[in-house]
Amino acid sequence: MSNLTGKKIILGVTGSISAYKSALLTRLLVKSGAEVQVLMTRAARDFITPLTLATLSKRPVLSEFTSSSGAGEGQWNNHVELALWADLIVVAPVSAHSLARFAHGFCDDLLAAVYLSARCPIFLAPAMDLDMYHHPATLENLRRLETFGNRIIQAEHGELASGLVGEGRLAEPEHILVELERHFAQRPVFRHKQILITAGPTQEPIDPVRFISNHSSGKMGYAIARAFAHAGADVTLISGPTVQPLPDPTIRRISVRSAREMFDATAAEFSKAHIIVLAAAVADYTPAEPAQQKIKKKEAVFALQMTKTIDIAATLGKQKRPDQITVGFALETNDELSNAVSKLRAKNFDFIVLNSLRDPGAGFGHDTNKITVIDKDEQVYEFDLKSKDKVAEDLLNLVQEQLAMV
């Protein structure tokens, strides 16, 4: 279920060439389960038709204080009731002109009246040409609006309608959706908390061409990073090689390849973190002496001498402070619970997340997972098979409960 499900969203659309993107944003909001009421300025109707947005939102689009046609002719569109109805207002695009109106309290149309009457959070996504966006008047208006408590979704860099290239493009609808999802997912307890997460596999070099690795896709670690970022935490993600996209633009990703690189990066960040989630599938062994040249195929039998890698969890577990919470992972194929409990104790975890490869739909590569979590008091929490995003939420809830006791 999306964090937007059941939320009442007012989408304001103002006069900008990028108003065409408001159609996709409306569609994304509706697909996420939100109720969407579109308000358009008069100028916006020159760029996209109200019919398009009414069809996508499944509600009549409002522009004027009174309806002038149809069965509701002469009906008052009560700006106060609209403002009180909304859980959130997002204006996308907001033009330079509308920014100025909002910043200085002008109230000459329905959208401006709703803006001034709102008690809910307001997000503004500006769109305009490069020089307009960087003009001192616009920058001052943006600063002023932020002091009012408005959230600014910064314009993005790219080719503009004028042909110039630079900042001023309306943020992509998918990026705006992430901002709104994050807003409704935020939990005050995670605000300003530093979260360190490892994810993905490691690759241990045999020679310049070949390496030893495992089947980890990084999906679980990336889902956990997304959950903490949406909850309002400051997330650092140390990732082995994976094709997973950055799950949230606020996440700081550090890319590594080998177990040694993952240890060095994790150790450098460990002392700053309040919560550490070690979800990466780190190699236990690495070739003792990787060849400097490609190994040619000659012998029928090829022997490779291996040496143990640094145990990241055990090493950092000895450095763990009482105010830190650590979460480890155990992927087992037999004696699952006893092996997980042994690892919990040996590595000084607060929680260990147990996966069994004997559970269908769990483990590497799947979009789902089935976990059992054991805490430091050896209390066991069992969860059903569910999406990895939902699994990440379950872990977030357990960590939140523990955080209250630290």
Q: What does the pLDDT look like over 232-285, one tens digit per residue? A: 999 999 999 999 999 888 899 999 999 999 999 999 999 999 999 999 999 999
Question: For the chain, how many structural domains are there in total?
Answer: 2
**One domain for residues 320 and 202:** yes
Q: Which of residues 137, 169, 184 is at a domain's end?
A: 184
| Tens of pLDDT, residues 112-130 | 999 999 999 999 999 999 9
Among candidates 115, 185, 143, 158, which has minimal Cα distance to 396?
A: 185
Quick count: other Cβ atoms within 10 Å of Cβ 319? Answer: 11
Catalytic residue IDs: 214
**Full residue range of the structural domain in which residue 379 is found:** 188-403
**One domain for residues 201 and 141:** no
pLDDT confidence bin for 86, thresholds 50/70/90: very high
What percent of the chain shows pLDDT beyond 70?
Answer: 97
pTM: 0.74
Does residue 353 surpass a pLDDT of 70? yes
What percent of the chain shows pLDDT beyond 90?
Answer: 80
Look at residue 314 and tell me if it is in a domain.
yes
Cα-based distances in Å from 343 to 319, 353, 391 = 16, 10, 21
Q: Does residue 7 have a known ligand-binding role?
A: no
Q: Tell me what pLDDT residue 66 has.
A: 84
pLDDT confidence bin for 75, thresholds 50/70/90: confident
Is 152 strand, coil or helix? strand
Among candidates 282, 304, 205, 199, which has minimal Cα distance to 244?
A: 199
Q: Does residue 284 have a known ligand-binding role?
A: yes
Q: Tell me what pLDDT residue 72 has.
A: 55
**One domain for residues 317 and 344:** yes
| Tens of pLDDT, residues 186-230 | 888 998 899 999 999 999 999 999 999 999 999 999 999 999 998
Q: Tell whether omega for the bond before 201 is within 30 degrees of 0, i.e. cis.
A: no
Which residue in the block uniquely carries the two structure tokens 């009246």? 113
**One domain for residues 69 and 209:** no
Q: Does residue 329 have a known ligand-binding role?
A: yes
**One domain for residues 141 and 195:** no
CA distance 340 to 349: 11
**One domain for residues 265 and 147:** no
Cα-based distances in Å from 288 to 161, 291, 314 = 57, 10, 21
| Element holding 284 (H helix, E strand) | none
